[in-house]
Structure 1
Amino acid sequence: MLKLNTLLYGALPAACLLAAPVLAQDAPTPDAAVGEQTGSDIIVTGSTRAQRRFDVSYAINSVSQEDIQKIAPVNMADLIGTLPGFQTEITGGEVQNIYRIRGLPSDGGFVSFQQDGLPLFHENDGVFFRGDAIIKPDLMMDRLEVVRGGPAPVYASYSGAIVNQITVTGSDTPRGKAQLTLGDTGLYRLDAYQAGPISDDTYYAIGGFIRQHDGYRDNGFPNDRGGQIRANIKHDFDNGSIKLSANYVNDHNVFYLPIPTADPRDPATSLNQYIDYFEGTMNSPAFRNVNLKYRDGAGVIQSKTSDLADGRHMRMFNVGVQYEGDFDGWLVSAKGGYTQGKLNFTAFYSTTNPADGTTFANSYLTAARNVFGSGVASMGYVLAGTNTVYDPAAASGLVMSGQYRDIASKFYSAQGDLSVARAFDTGLGKHDLKLGLYASAYGETSKSIYQNYLIEVAGKPRTLDLVAYSATGQALGTVTDNGVLNYTGTLNQGDADATMFALYANDTWEVVPGLRIDAGIRHERYSYKGWAAVTEQIDLGDPTTLADNTTRGFTGVIINREYKPDITNWTAGANYDFSRNFGVYVRASHLETPPSVQVASSVSPTVITTKADQYEAGLKFAAGRSYLYVTGFYTNFDPLNASFLAFDPTTGRNDVPVPFIGEAQVKGVEFDGMVQVTPWFSLNGALTISDPKYKNFQSSTGADPEQAEGKQIVREPKVYGNIRPSFSFSAGETDFQIYGRYNYMGKRYVDLYNNTALPAYSTIGAGVTATHGSWQVQLLGDNLTNAHGLTEGNTRTDSLSGQGSSSAIYGRPIFGRNFRLVLSKSW
């Protein structure tokens, strides 16, 4: 049965299509969308006022909708990964992927996602979500502006980079577009938008998408379903404008985790026949009706039903307002927004490596005898909840465990930014000064339940029970309970609220024509207040199984916490343009990031302010549609908190602390170029070469920090990049474009000690677009050669010393060959 929100999503594109004949005149020439192919991009992110990309003294890209269509990204991380300095991993699914900027050792915590210059949630990472889960790309994104390093720490919090979606706004000329995307992975997606005038000086834009996707891997249920609506109304005044906007997201996205790819008993033996490299996943219909057990604070045993197919279910609503005015040269900008949302997240995580079935079973023999008596003679497997015997030797010979995670959170975030800018002349050149105040009040509640299961080694695995038998074959008890290896090994609950304000200033000083010096500073003060529920290990008391012997339960004790961190960021740069075509710049920046508000809702938080000093020097060249930007960079990250919690298979908990505090140093150079060889052939490319390494580590638990000294930072390559050729020609009244994309990812390591490598890999993609009047057809293909590649290992167990093999045998593979057909009509 169709739900109401599904009907609403379907009504939006239909309304746009029906409105088109009424609102549209003859198909107009769209407003000039300045894409990254030109040398005269107009940018606003990280700048006092709009200016040419060439004129700024930092690294930035502006990517238009036309560019995005040719890049044809799988998700936002895939799009960002085409830019230099950004190493991304796109294999987790549509959202919550990995974003690393110039070697900063984080999975995304230093990348600020914004919409029209303002974040929708103040912190870059919420409880199991980041910006790409609440600001999704669609046709309402006019362009994407991405700042790498530079002034990012002054113009945003927690920011080594800014990813800013500039939304479509209406104009005097009505325009719109509808787009249908079909994929051979069971993808069905409809995008649409409509924009135009309401009356003199008042304009509107509305658009969004609805999508269902079976997925790049076979879960046994749909991967993604839902969509997004965005709308705004803008009114122009004689000296400025005001824009009101609203966003609504209701979307499910399934999360892909690592899979075993080779037999740990013999790493040369592939497991592909049991769990397919490109289509296999441990996600399974077996987890559509999970029963989670734990004890509440009143001592009562609770049960919760959870469904893996819900995935990352994001429901988010945002309203915003933007005002800009020019008062005799004083530029006033005021932006505000309020976001409220819910996230229910279910996923099946990898834990320990697969184990020989016999060895694994016998490892529980002593524990079974201690509970079920000395009459236990042997251990054996059955399919969970049945008496059907399962013999691992008849399949892979292996069994494995995995962790089902159920997280529920609510969040809110109110944020506002007020700034005033003024340009003025002095006897020593011209200054452009900007002063601003940013403030936010935000918070999160969360509850997390992690429960471990025993499964077969197979795609869409079945759950197993491990049974203790007597010498006569009588079942005396089970290690597991309906597939559950450990009931609720991890249990957390808490709430945290925060207020913060920031004062910032930036001055751009044009000393003489061509020579500009700019500097900025940002000071932030935070106040966190929250609570966390204390847990303890208990036995739920079922004498027939071991699965409930090490369960977590709430004690009823609450820990209250308060923190008041403050940080100061700054940047300074100088730029000299020898001409409108050639220039150089240098810049230094200092980035500090306070701990997340989640430390106030944690029982045992790690409270540390991270700091990074960044230095960069750039060369700029632009001529016509060709350009080359070369940036050398050096980052010193001190202190670096590389601590993590390892998985303990005995208790089933992620609670083994491995503290590592030290430094990270990254030296490198990035190349961002495009050459228009002929009017019909162009070549885009991005290349990053760096040396990311650890320095001066210390550990308080006996782990050997010397083994990490000078080693390559986990999961970060020394070389990565892409090349994108494009050919254009016409046949009659139809215009054609043929384009390709070659991606390269260098060797990385899964562990601090660099014992287990993630081998280098490369992929090839291609596409063709035919445009006839207002109609367009596009055919796209990714990873055409079915190249193999892993983007991470098994982070729950291998982060310190690897997987016991020189190359990873457990990881998250890249997606296999797939195709998409896109049909669109503009008006």
Structure 2
Amino acid sequence: MHSAFTKSIYIGTICSLGALASATAGATEPVSPAAQDSVMAAAPADDADADPETQIVVTGSAREQRRFEVSYAVNALSQDDVLKLAPKNYAELLGNVPGIHVEATGGEVQNITRVRGIPTDRGYLIFQQDGLPLYHEIDGFFFNSGEGMNRFDLMTERVEVVRGGPAPIYASNAAAIANNITVTGGEQARGRAQVTLGDTGLYRLDLMQAGKLAQNTYFAIGGFLRQHDGYRDNGFPNDKGGQIRANLKHNLDNGFVKLSATYVNDKNLFYLPIPVSDPRNPSVSLNPFIDYFTGTMNSPSLRGLNISYRNGNGQTETLSRDLANGRHMRFGNVGLEYQGDFGGYLVSAKLGLTTGKNSFDAFYSTTNPVAATPFANSYLAAANTAFGTSANPVTRIGYAIGGTNGASVYDPNTASGLVMSGQYRAIEARFHSTQADLSVTKAFETGFGNHDVKIGVYGSIYGTSAFLAYQDMLIEVAGKPRTLDLVAYNAAGQILGYVTDNGTLRAATTLTNGDSDGKVISLYANDTWEITPGLRLDAGIRKEWYELSGYTELTTGGINLGKPGTLADDATRGFTGQRVTNLLKPTATNWTVGLSYDFTPSFGAYGRVSNLQVPPGAGVTLNAVPNIVKTQARQYEAGVKADFGRSYIYLTGFYTDFDPFNASFVAFNPTTGRNDQVVPFVGQAVAKGIEIDGKFAPLDWFDLAASITVADPQYRNLENTAGADPSAVNGNQIIREPKLFGNVRPTFTFDMGDSRLEVQGRFDFVGERFVDLFNRTSLPAYQTFGANIALTTGDWRFQVVGDNLTNAKGLTEGNPRTDQLAGQDASAAIYGRPLFGRNFRLIISRSW
């Protein structure tokens, strides 16, 4: 469809390529070092200890600036900073930034980040690589474009994280931006090799090499390979794969042109919540059956799973799935960037093309464990109707190990006395995303101050084709649980039939097949006005026009697949052969205004207000009846900043206001096995708080760094149309949001001639949270201790990292499929995703 909208994106892309072509002809005006070495030529990793006074940031700014000078909250984590922190995953890395609460317990990817109380699983935190996203939207279909697609390795020069501020101007849907700036080659060759070994079966190799290829031409290449058994015992490897990134940069008389490529092929297992206490008596731990620190519902019993459903032609199809495939992400990205200075007009053109696929296999928590005997008896009547006769009725329902045809009898009462169900989710998605950005920046003087104006256009064409099938399984309460069958017996103990089918409780409870496509064109402008030396007014606006289209194949329930001897296939879903198409054309208008004043070169203050509108994602068109929700968040912030050489402090107060805020959710229905219980809550959500980002270094051999957030996230003015009492929700703490979180990191450094020894401690803390709107069930506060010791001698570095040294207990997430309205029938959570237990890693690297 060649609409005017589509043509506008084509034109934007052509303009980007046109600017690149014209640039190769050269220009007579020389480019400044600042322009020449902008985003792509970041400071080398050995500048990690540079004072904040001299740290350069480029994200959220018209051009590069010192961190101290910008009028918004930004952190720059260099490669050496990250290597010292040695996070287990990207979410844990972001947990070192104030204002960002993370739940990093899902594994290496698919974790949770929340920014300044924003009550979504991503917090509108947009990831970029060198200033462009790899995929336009914040979430794809069961893959996220954040830490799901962006992996930290030695090809990452530094990570810049902007919270609030101008983020809505420099990226779509952004309340915050995490910009991964890649290594670029220079005149001097440099490289690094690193091996990481962990006591959880972790083996990882990182490599990077950068340098000069020819006159004015430079290269960088690197990546990682990794295999990991996992922090929890799945019975098979948790993570396997890696990524490679490379780029070529050629300097021109007035700028540069750069070609880059990324390829990722990585499998990652997803940890879901587990039961930790007996629902019949929450004071009784389930640790004897499923270990708190290593237990998981992932199991080899789910490696050969079949999912049957009815296709649109009325035929039965069967999928064969393997849980060990996990979340298998494969994608490639090619990027092209040009930057040039034309008589003071700094032209920047960026183009990125991404294509890939994601196969997703995960075993989700659904309802809490239940007493085994009453659960089995609840199927007696249905089994008797299906398999019994008046002369030979079904008299008892018993248990057997799944798939053994009843031969391996299982008695839950000899174990925990409990059984539980879980949902196997199988998803296949193919995706593509093309994004282009063209901007012009010009600094000029007026009779009343200096202006630095940036005007740009951004466009993207993106989409996903997706298929999913969910199936409910019956399992024992144990680590690496076996699937269970419910067996129907007569009075003589003979088997008359099965409620289940090889461990399947309900086959194909959910089906989706469809395609979604999105197009967006954005115009943005920002002006940084230096009214007098030290006094700056920063203002920007971004206007976006979307076109979202797609289709979904309709399904119906209650289909009997006709498999004899089982009830599991009696109420499956199937495709009807019909489809529904959708077309939406939302818009969004974002703006920001900030004022800052530097009283001295070492002390300043700023204030800012930003408005963010987030239209529905393209995936909404995969619904037969799209739920159209436009979220709006207004962010206010004010801060003071002080620099004392090696010591510094950034103190920021924030207030985030969602109005209107849609807190509606879909809950799991244990009767149907579907997420079809819609609970609508619409109103307002606010979060006010203070962020503390500081470092105190009174001595050359000692410093104390801290990242602390104190907040009050709460619901306000919610309304409910489903009979729930909103007055009992208003004023409550937002689900899974703590009022206090952060970490404190003391470091001792000892110089020993040509060697240096660093000893760093770490104290992390997270306050009480709640799993439900009514704040009935809490996730208790927790604290953990960690430490790492690093010896650098010559070009070698040896580091030992230990996490959760005291095996402190703490739960994240709860069980969101069912928690949000009813809680867990306990004052403290009995079901959740626990912290990982004590673990150690040895990291050996050599630089050259």
Aligned to 1:129, what secondary structure does the other structure show?
coil
1:770: which partner in 2?
791
What aligned pairs does 1:177-576 form with structure 2 within 5 A after superposition? Answer: 177-373=192-388, 375-386=393-404, 387-537=407-557, 538-576=559-597
Equivalent residue for 1:639, pick from 646, 660, 677:
660
Cα distance in structure 2, aligned partners of 1:110 and 1:200: 42
What aligned pairs does 1:25-36 form with structure 2 within 5 A after superposition? Answer: 33-34=47-48
Aligned to 2:724, what secondary structure does the other structure show?
coil
1:72: which partner in 2?
86
The answer to whether the aligner puts 1:693 opposite 2:731 as a matched pair is no
Cα distance in structure 2, aligned partners of 1:108 and 1:775: 37
Equivalent residue for 1:678, pick from 673, 680, 699:
699
What is the Cα deviation at residue 732 of structure 1? 3.9
Aligned to 2:230, what secondary structure does the other structure show?
coil
Indicate conservation of the 8 Å contact 1:452/1:652, yes or no.
Answer: yes
Indicate conservation of the 8 Å contact 2:52/2:68, yes or no.
Answer: no
Cα distance in structure 1, aligned partners of 2:155 and 2:90: 14
Equivalent residue for 2:140, pick from 126, 137, 155:
126
Indicate conservation of the 8 Å contact 2:55/2:66, yes or no.
Answer: yes
Letter in 1 for 2:478: A
Mean Cα displacement is larger for which, 436-445 or 724-733? 724-733
Mean Cα displacement is larger for which, 125-134 or 47-56? 125-134
Indicate conservation of the 8 Å contact 2:115/2:123, yes or no.
Answer: no
Cα distance in structure 2, aligned partners of 1:697 and 1:35: 47
Cα distance in structure 2, aligned partners of 1:797 and 1:376: 32
1:585: which partner in 2?
606
Cα distance in structure 1, aligned partners of 2:51 and 2:157: 15
1:88: which partner in 2?
102
2:39: which partner in 1?
none
Indicate conservation of the 8 Å contact 2:45/2:157, yes or no.
Answer: no
What TM-score, normalized by structure 2, do the two folds share? 0.93
1:104: which partner in 2?
118
Cα distance in structure 1, aligned partners of 2:187 and 2:501: 66
What is the Cα deviation at residue 32 of structure 1? 5.1
Cα distance in structure 2, aligned partners of 1:293 and 1:755: 39
Letter in 2 for 1:183: G
Cα distance in structure 1, aligned partners of 2:828 and 2:801: 32
Cα distance in structure 2, aligned partners of 1:628 and 1:691: 22
What is the Cα deviation at residue 296 of structure 1? 0.4
Cα distance in structure 2, aligned partners of 1:128 and 1:785: 34
What is the Cα deviation at residue 706 of structure 1? 2.1
Q: Where do 5+ consecutive residues of structure 2 fail to align?
A: 1-42
Cα distance in structure 1, aligned partners of 2:518 and 2:512: 20
Cα distance in structure 1, aligned partners of 2:319 and 2:656: 46
Cα distance in structure 2, aligned partners of 1:302 and 1:425: 70
Letter in 2 for 1:126: G
Aligned to 1:125, what secondary structure does the other structure show?
coil
Aligned to 1:542, what secondary structure does the other structure show?
coil
Letter in 2 for 1:441: I
Cα distance in structure 2, aligned partners of 1:733 and 1:158: 49
Equivalent residue for 1:711, pick from 724, 732, 754:
732
Letter in 2 for 1:377: T
1:45: which partner in 2?
59
Aligned to 1:578, what secondary structure does the other structure show?
strand
What is the Cα deviation at residue 489 of structure 1? 0.4
What aligned pairs does 1:4-23 form with structure 2 within 5 A after superposition? Answer: none
Cα distance in structure 1, aligned partners of 2:689 and 2:436: 36
The answer to whether the aligner puts 1:738 opposite 2:759 as a matched pair is yes
Cα distance in structure 2, aligned partners of 1:593 and 1:38: 33
> For residues 309-360 of structure 1, what are the alpha-carbon distances to aligned partners after superposition, in whole Å with 9 as ceiling and x for unaligned?
0000000000001111111111111111000000000000001100101011
> For residues 153-186 of structure 1, what are the alpha-carbon distances to aligned partners after superposition, in whole Å with 9 as ceiling and x for unaligned?
0100010000000100000000000000000000
Cα distance in structure 2, aligned partners of 1:35 and 1:274: 47
Letter in 2 for 1:651: T
What is the Cα deviation at residue 36 of structure 1? 7.5
Mean Cα displacement is larger for which, 654-663 or 497-506? 654-663
Aligned to 1:784, what secondary structure does the other structure show?
coil
Cα distance in structure 2, aligned partners of 1:422 and 1:330: 5
Indicate conservation of the 8 Å contact 2:45/2:78, yes or no.
Answer: no
The answer to whether the aligner puts 1:803 opposite 2:832 as a matched pair is no
Indicate conservation of the 8 Å contact 1:333/1:420, yes or no.
Answer: yes
Indicate conservation of the 8 Å contact 1:36/1:64, yes or no.
Answer: no
What is the Cα deviation at residue 592 of structure 1? 0.4
Cα distance in structure 1, aligned partners of 2:223 and 2:517: 31
1:6: which partner in 2?
none
Do the aligned partners of residues 377 and 129 (structure 1) sit closer, same or farther apart at CA in structure 2, a change above 3 Å counting? same
Cα distance in structure 2, aligned partners of 1:31 and 1:675: 22
Cα distance in structure 1, aligned partners of 2:513 and 2:71: 45
Indicate conservation of the 8 Å contact 1:84/1:672, yes or no.
Answer: yes
1:5: which partner in 2?
none
2:644: which partner in 1?
623
Aligned to 1:228, what secondary structure does the other structure show?
strand
The answer to whether the aligner puts 1:605 opposite 2:605 as a matched pair is no
**Count of aligned positions:** 799
Letter in 1 for 2:203: Y
Aligned to 1:133, what secondary structure does the other structure show?
coil
Aligned to 2:92, what secondary structure does the other structure show?
helix
Between the aligned residues of both structures, percent identity stands at 59
List, as ranges, runs of 4+ consecutive aligned residues in structure 1 with deviation greater than 6 Å: none
> For residues 407-448 of structure 1, what are the alpha-carbon distances to aligned partners after superposition, in whole Å with 9 as ceiling and x for unaligned?
000000000000001111111111111100000000001011
The answer to whether the aligner puts 1:660 opposite 2:685 as a matched pair is no
Equivalent residue for 2:635, pick from 614, 621, 625:
614
Do the aligned partners of residues 606 and 172 (structure 1) sit closer, same or farther apart at CA in structure 2, a change above 3 Å counting? same
Aligned to 1:440, what secondary structure does the other structure show?
strand
Letter in 1 for 2:78: S
Indicate conservation of the 8 Å contact 2:48/2:79, yes or no.
Answer: no
Cα distance in structure 2, aligned partners of 1:755 and 1:35: 46
What TM-score, normalized by structure 1, do the two folds share? 0.96
Indicate conservation of the 8 Å contact 1:121/1:339, yes or no.
Answer: yes
Cα distance in structure 1, aligned partners of 2:468 and 2:50: 42
Cα distance in structure 1, aligned partners of 2:411 and 2:548: 53
1:55: which partner in 2?
69
Indicate conservation of the 8 Å contact 1:466/1:478, yes or no.
Answer: yes
Letter in 1 for 2:84: K
Letter in 2 for 1:586: G
